[in-house]
Structure 1
Amino acid sequence: MKSRILFAFILSVFGVLQSNAKSKVDTIFAPNLKPIGRTLINNQHNLALITSAAHFGFSFKGNECAIYVSIADAAGHNYLQYELDGTYQKRIRIDGNLKTPVIIKANSAGTHRIWIYKATEATSGALIFSKIAAEGIKNLSIPKLPLIEFIGNSITCGAAADDSEIPCGTGDYQDHHNAYMAYGPRVARALNTNFILSSVSGIGVYRTWNRDSPSMPLVYENANFQEKDSLKWDFKTYQPKIVSIALGTNDMSNGDGTARAAFDTARFVNDYVKFVQLVKSKYPKAQIALLSSPMIKGNSREILQRCLSRVKTAIDAGYPADKPVSTFFFEPMEAHGCSGHPSVADHQILAEQLKPFFAGLLKQ
């Protein structure tokens, strides 16, 4: 009798140990994650995703993983979004007072691959990650693929594109961001390239949508795209094959109704040329592509296209040994997103227009 009880006890202990072994939780701490985009490891040794669609990936076993993420503004909120096993899932709101990890569940056991993206732009604040925990968790390295950097404004950010959860005209500006679904990431995924977004809502070549400053040339070298940011970005981090620049919408904007000077074509071209020269100083081997705006119509559209052609002519003359600048002129679009911006569906249309253009550049 005693031997049977002892044997049963040993079996139960073995079962518990075996169960614990199977459910062992592993951890990747922030400094060991492998992100792409403008990111940094802060003084607390946490990973800050700064820019739109900055992302990292990992694999795990089982049904769930835990994401330890926060934001600096205790009273604010931000968004991450994620892709699971190759399929986009959804955005997740991150509140400033979040005390528990975000749990992401899979529908089945086994090994899963997940990519975490920042849904919002740099000016919305960073997403700060301390660690990721799950059974059998392993880093996913960024694939060794050509890289496209997309420089632009709110359109490039995917701002005001997504009203699926919060209707346009309600909530906060970041509530409608969807960087994953913006035209740049869509083009990159379709053409099997890496991408980074260097974009700021409202920004232009020499002025913003309703003010004279800041402009993209003033903030581009700053890690957080803030005008008075003392932290500079290390441009040796990436060497893109293509740099796409889509600016001009806000320079030509009527703003918010406040008085502003007429669009200055000479200044626009002059400042644009200087900005392309700045970009080329950071990425000497990159192919430069200048994109127009799908939001600008009529005579303004013609003016912008002529300006971009003048920028191309000036850069090609100044860098005769480099690949010529390429230009792409969008067809005018009636936008269906918030506040006159392209919607998620509109971004798919823009991406379809752009895919043959970028496919051609990648072959050069």
Structure 2
Amino acid sequence: MQQELPASALQPVGRYQVNNAQNLELITSAAHVGFSFEGREAKVVASASYAGAHSYFQYELDGEYQKRVRISGLNDTVVITAPSAGKHTVWVYKTTEAHTGPLVIQKVVGANVKPLIRPNAPLIEFIGNSITCGAAADPSEVPCGTGEYHDQHNAYQAYGPRVARAVKANFILSSVSGYGAYRNWNNNGPTLPEVYEKIDLQGKTTQRWDFAKFTPAIVSIALGTNDFSDGDGKTPRLPFDSARFVNAYVGFVKDVKSKYPKAQIALMSSSMMNGPRKQTLENCLTAVKKQIDTAYPSAKPVALHFFKPMQASGCTGHPSVAEHGVMAAELEPFFKSLL
């Protein structure tokens, strides 16, 4: 017998809210929900943020990744088909990032459909920019330079979710394309530290995120690529300021520590940077670590990981899905040691 599971009964991981219509809005990249059903198929009724918009989700069926699905307009139904009868599990992940609008889940329809709860495991929060979002990584359906910016997003295959799955940890992503520690790629802000407390990581939003909902064991922060960038060539851009970068970064780490006092802080460099800029960023992150370790002598020391440089081959110079796999493999022993 077919049953309807309202989206408000699901147990999301990542930033989310239940809206006035009692639908579930998955807000951040790779925010996810799970459900089980019996038989051969279940239906997910979902929508983009407004009538003309589209979004994407990705899903696993019985622990195996399936594909990316486009969600169009205010009412779209995705049929998930299992190869055999019996009981099945599904995890649905938002593919796109917060600033392209929420992925709205209205309900799940199927036989004996029930919400799943994430297995009990340490949680890693990945804070960062477009790289952390998995932006511009996947032109498999919409070629680079065509469609809209979020058409090449692939949050499920970004380095953070991949390394979390490899080390059997849960994960949330708090990342925004183009944002930096003290300035963004083509403007002076609001920066990631300035929007971190907003539920959707956007400057104009007044609603705050409730940090009590999740308690990460590790907070991974990867900022700097955009602070160092030359901008869009239109907006005036001053040379990179190491002192401002370090001060802003230290302030942000202190803010994160105020929310998660027991979390291990891990700072990442950028896989997209080479040469003198790469060295300067690593020097800055070492300075941030020194200041934080001095300020919190009884806490776990800040961990650092400096990426091996790569010639990124995704869209607009970003890492591709395959290159995110390389980054995740490089990070796996680092996170294993922290856990």
The alignment status of 1:108 with 2:108, answered yes or no, reads no
Could you tell me which residue of structure 1 aligns to residue 239 of structure 2?
A: 262
* Equivalent of 1:247 in 223, 243, 247: 223
Under a length normalisation based on structure 1, what TM-score does the superposition of the two structures give?
Answer: 0.92
Could you tell me which residue of structure 2 aligns to residue 273 of structure 1?
A: 250
Could you tell me which residue of structure 2 aligns to residue 203 of structure 1?
A: 179
CA-based RMSD: 0.8
Identity %, equivalent residues: 58
* Equivalent of 1:52 in 22, 29, 33: 29
Could you tell me which residue of structure 1 aligns to residue 9 of structure 2?
A: 32
Q: How do 1:311-326 and structure 2 match up within 5 A? A: 311-326=288-303
CA distance, structure 2, for counterparts of residue 166 and residue 319 of structure 1: 47
Under a length normalisation based on structure 2, what TM-score does the superposition of the two structures give?
Answer: 0.98
* Equivalent of 1:282 in 255, 259, 281: 259
Opposite residue 71 of structure 2, the aligned amino acid is: I
After superposition, give the CA deviation of every residue in 1:323-358 in whole Å (9 maximum; x if it has no partner). Answer: 100100001111111000000000000001000000
Moved more, 340-349 or 62-71: 62-71
The alignment status of 1:194 with 2:170, answered yes or no, reads yes
What SS does structure 2 have at the residue aligned with 1:333?
coil
CA distance, structure 2, for counterparts of residue 211 and residue 59 of structure 1: 45
CA distance, structure 1, for counterparts of residue 182 and residue 26 of structure 2: 27
CA distance, structure 1, for counterparts of residue 77 and residue 64 of structure 2: 22
After superposition, give the CA deviation of every residue in 1:191-216 in whole Å (9 maximum; x if it has no partner). Answer: 00000000000000011111111201
After superposition, give the CA deviation of every residue in 1:150-170 in whole Å (9 maximum; x if it has no partner). Answer: 000000000000011111111
What SS does structure 2 have at the residue aligned with 1:144?
coil
* Equivalent of 1:335 in 312, 324, 328: 312
CA distance, structure 2, for counterparts of residue 25 and residue 264 of structure 1: 60
* Equivalent of 1:308 in 285, 300, 307: 285
* Equivalent of 2:18 in 41, 45, 67: 41
Q: How do 1:1-364 and structure 2 match up within 5 A? A: 24-98=1-75, 100-258=76-234, 259-362=236-339
Alpha-carbon contact 2:56-2:96 (below 8 Å) kept: yes
Could you tell me which residue of structure 2 aligns to residue 18 of structure 1?
A: none
After superposition, give the CA deviation of every residue in 1:231-274 in whole Å (9 maximum; x if it has no partner). Answer: 10010111100000000000000112233000000000000000
Opposite residue 156 of structure 1, the aligned amino acid is: T
Task: Give the deviation of 1:96 after TM superposition.
Answer: 1.2
CA distance, structure 1, for counterparts of residue 74 and residue 203 of structure 2: 28
CA distance, structure 1, for counterparts of residue 30 and residue 263 of structure 2: 21
After superposition, give the CA deviation of every residue in 1:52-90 in whole Å (9 maximum; x if it has no partner). Answer: 000011111111111111122211111011011111111
Task: Give the deviation of 1:97 after TM superposition.
Answer: 4.7
CA distance, structure 1, for counterparts of residue 267 and residue 146 of structure 2: 34
CA distance, structure 1, for counterparts of residue 107 and residue 50 of structure 2: 19
Moved over 4 A (4+): none
Opposite residue 144 of structure 1, the aligned amino acid is: N
What SS does structure 2 have at the residue aligned with 1:201?
coil
The gaps in structure 1 that reach 5 residues or longer are 1-23
Alpha-carbon contact 2:4-2:108 (below 8 Å) kept: yes
What SS does structure 2 have at the residue aligned with 1:91?
strand
Alpha-carbon contact 2:49-2:74 (below 8 Å) kept: no
What SS does structure 2 have at the residue aligned with 1:288?
strand
CA distance, structure 2, for counterparts of residue 83 and residue 256 of structure 1: 38
